[in-house]
Structure 1
């Protein structure tokens, strides 16, 4: 990758300072506080929004956002909508849903993915607020799919851009493990049939190219023999898992995280034993 693309210096606007989390992805936001009932000025909203596009994900230090202001926080970036399931039910009366380690047992969140990339209209952003974080373990790993694309040899990249992939929400059992009742499972499957997606996609706002196949959903590459398709996907996944493009994030109580769901692949790490891990999630269009 071109070192000129690395994030090396903090960016500052008024009292807000964003420090790079890694040279490739992530920013740590300090000096931002969202108080209940207080409107955030448009210049601040625009600064944070543009920083999110630049860094891929932003972590707001504990105290920036709380349980009561988290939904208002999600409105700064778009329109939140409920996107839970029986394993991740609604949190409160708003559009948030809860991800509780004592309840959510599907384990598919430990496979690399972009949220809902098996649907024609996955959300723009995903935000999480840590109600209770483990004392150790329970990290979330992020991979910048645009940075992974920049690792490719130009000839390989040009060929991959000609290919399409089938994404299936039940490829690794996400839908089957989320709905135990046969009627609800059938309905969920019918609402999410297999979807043809480009192997290389262009970000609609930044114009950056990215590797789009997700290990959780990718079924096969269209038009290639099975073995060739499998090898192509393994190569793509290897680039997406490269240490150069991966950033681990460790949770703290009260921390708030938002990422650009169009380009940031992520997965959880199941290494926190029986500790409690409760996150509230906002899906933002």
Structure 2
């Protein structure tokens, strides 16, 4: 029997009673999806699966997303293989690829190799971040849009030696506007939807207003009561909802850390309106 064991009061649960090596029944998919919507990020321990099993599990929940900056475009698996992750971009609070249209619904990250110590990942509940704002700031944010841009992420990757063509990527993925407050397509709840990695400005505000308000909103999600921290083990898989969460990869290691990720877009019935 599938069971969910909350890790904190507001976000994160470990899942037992499921074997990801085997195809899931539709009832199991439904149970997992409801638990995922409730807990926002699910942790599956001791799941020693291969890439094909990883992919098939992911496709129960959405369609395959191909990140704009993924180097091996032919593979559905995005391999994150790092020994010096500092300043590569994941070590700041972010939602994945909010500069894409549509942004991905969720990600499934599997641990393949770990350093002897370190390499944890944190997630934050951005429903709570929105709900903790004062009513006046909530009303202001409800009316605002923000620009999301891939440029900063690409510049960091290029500076670390990754062979991207910045001009080509910028043409393929131009800046776009998104609501500052995102209404979740499945739950109807409001979540704060700006992040340090790709949100560059609030539309319609002056530079000085941006300098005051945007950092406040971005930093607001850093409060520990909104967060959960995962200590990885080889064979752990984390599945998070990219819409009401942000995450942070702790860059505190200098040994090899290898993770495999599948990113999914929403099925049409679960897509933003």
What is the TM-score when the length of structure 1 is the normalising length? 0.85
Name the structure 1 match of 2:10.
24
3-state SS of the aligned residue for 1:69? helix
Name the structure 1 match of 2:90.
109
Alpha carbon RMSD of aligned pairs, Å? 2.1
In the TM superposition, what whole-angstrom CA distance separates every residue of 1:110-134 from its partner, at most 9, and x where no partner exists?
1211111012211111011101122
Bigger shift: 132-141 or 21-30?
132-141
Where structure 2 has 5 or more consecutive residues not aligned to the other structure, the ranges are 266-273
In the TM superposition, what whole-angstrom CA distance separates every residue of 1:43-72 from its partner, at most 9, and x where no partner exists?
111000111111111000113644452111
Name the structure 1 match of 2:234.
253
Given that 2:86 and 2:251 are in contact with CA atoms closer than 8 Å, whether structure 1 keeps it comes out as: no
Where structure 1 has 5 or more consecutive residues not aligned to the other structure, the ranges are 1-14
Using the TM superposition, give the Cα deviation of residue 243 of structure 1 relative to its aligned residue in structure 2, in angstroms: 1.2
Bigger shift: 261-270 or 75-84?
75-84
- Distance, in Å, in 1 between the alignment partners of 2:68 and 2:238 is 18
- Distance, in Å, in 1 between the alignment partners of 2:33 and 2:89 is 29
What is the TM-score when the length of structure 2 is the normalising length? 0.89
More contact order relative to length (CA 8 Å, sep ≥ 6): 2
Given that 2:83 and 2:255 are in contact with CA atoms closer than 8 Å, whether structure 1 keeps it comes out as: no
Using the TM superposition, give the Cα deviation of residue 178 of structure 1 relative to its aligned residue in structure 2, in angstroms: 3.6
Name the structure 2 match of 1:4.
none
- Distance, in Å, in 1 between the alignment partners of 2:163 and 2:257 is 26
Using the TM superposition, give the Cα deviation of residue 39 of structure 1 relative to its aligned residue in structure 2, in angstroms: 2.7
Name the structure 2 match of 1:136.
117
Q: 1:103 to 1:73 in 2, by over 3 A?
A: farther
Given that 2:107 and 2:261 are in contact with CA atoms closer than 8 Å, whether structure 1 keeps it comes out as: yes
Name the structure 2 match of 1:79.
63
- Distance, in Å, in 1 between the alignment partners of 2:128 and 2:17 is 28
Name the structure 2 match of 1:118.
99
- 2:160 equivalent to 1:174: no
Query: Which residue of 39, 43, 52 maps to 2:27?
Result: 43
Given that 1:106 and 1:174 are in contact with CA atoms closer than 8 Å, whether structure 2 keeps it comes out as: no
- Distance, in Å, in 1 between the alignment partners of 2:72 and 2:157 is 11
Name the structure 1 match of 2:264.
284
The 5 Å alignment of 1:144-155 reads 144-155=125-136
